[in-house]
Amino acid sequence: MPQMTFVEQDGTERTVDAPLGLSVLEIAHKHGIDLEGACEGSLACATCHVVVDPSWAPKLEAATDDEEDMLDLAFGLEKTSRLGCQIVMTEALDGLVVRLPHTA
């Protein structure tokens, strides 16, 4: 099974199993990682904002216009910011690393 690593706000790294077909948001919830996802992945908020490790960013599909619009609402936006609900785990993403941004 693929794995991915979440880097929490305090710098703690948590490597977890990442089932194929689940979004980063769903994977976070499955493992008790503090990633809100208030709209439950319906692309109606920016509370599942993550920062993708720069080495992984080019391996992701480009963000849609709708995702870009929601990201404009995120606090602490960075060049590789994405919404966790829009990144779906594939074999090619085995080893993906994302960081949870500071919220204040």
Mean pLDDT for each 10-residue chunk of the chain (104 residues)? 96 98 98 95 95 98 96 93 98 98 75
pTM higher than 0.85 for the full model? yes
Q: List own/partner pairs for 34-43 with CB under 8 A and 24 or more apart.
A: 34/8, 34/100, 35/6, 35/84, 35/100, 37/84, 37/85, 39/85, 41/85, 42/85, 43/67, 43/70, 43/83, 43/85, 43/86
The pLDDT value recorded for residue 36 is: 94
The pLDDT value recorded for residue 102 is: 82
